[in-house]
Amino acid sequence: MPDLYRIALAQLNPVMGDIAGNLARARAARSAAADADVILFSELFIVGYSPEDLVLKPALQEDARAAVEELARDTAEGGPAVLMGAPWVEEGKLYNAMLLLDGGRIVGKTFKVDLPNYGVFDQKRVFVAGPAPKPLTVRGVQLGVPICEDIWKQGVCAALEETGAEILCVPNGSPFEAGKEDVRLKLAASRVNETGLPLVYLNQLGGQDEVVYDGASFVLNADGVMAVALPGWEEKVTITEWQRDTQARC
């Protein structure tokens, strides 16, 4: 890891189906985080969350891909790399993806493995589960990018640790419930304890139909100590600084 590494957290409110608007929001956040090495966006950010059956429309899939490719071209001019959440069609299969954008193009991708199918979630019906992920190399650092539900079990994070991840960066669309912040924190602490890796938990905020999202993103160091806590119910772009000892500072 470089002596100093900066990860920006984009805790924002994407608007369902407003791909052009969400692209503009991503660009503004990236501009605000110009000193970062990489900026992390939440799950399916480019289309909004949770898109439900809207994600099955070919026009939305094509527009989302075009927006991601357009944002990728922006990275040719310098500034932070981007980890962007988007629906992604590959070999005829639709995935819940995180795309790594750097150097003017899409240079990496990872797909959600554990698709929730309970409560307000119905992802097994619309997405295909991805294969076991490997870390993405982002400016000299190996970032493991488990997507939301992927950290609710041990398998995905364990696979990322075994294949060389240095930091876990988790994009989420986690709905608000009473006491949910404690549940998330305990869950993240379990994955940190098992892998020995620090963990970035980025959650979106806003609302989609009757479901609301509260943000409340945070960072745990490898010793399980909370290094950064973002406020709930507030849009915020925050740059975290990481030292070679993989300890985060805001």
Rounded to 10 degrees, the C-alpha dihedral 7/23/55/60 comes to: -150
Residues 6+ apart with CB under 8 A from 164: 134, 135, 142
Q: Is 181 a catalytic residue?
A: no
* Whether residue 194 lies in the annotated active site: no
* pLDDT higher than 80, residue 249: no
Percent of the chain with pLDDT over 70: 98
Per the listing, tokens 């995935």 go with 95
Catalytic residue among 62, 70, 112, 250: 112
CA atoms within 13 A on the CB side of 133: 35
pLDDT digits (tens, 9 = 90+) for 92-138: 999 999 999 999 999 999 999 999 988 888 999 999 999 999 999 99
Mean pLDDT of the chain: 96
Pairing mode of beta strands 199-203, 167-172:
parallel
Pairing mode of beta strands 38-40, 81-90: parallel
Which of 109, 148, 161, 169 is the catalytic position? 148
Catalytic site includes residue 157: no
Domains and CATH numbers, the chain: 4-249 (3.60.110.10)
pLDDT in tens, 184-225: 999 999 999 999 999 999 999 998 888 999 999 999 999 999
The SS3 call for residue 23 is helix
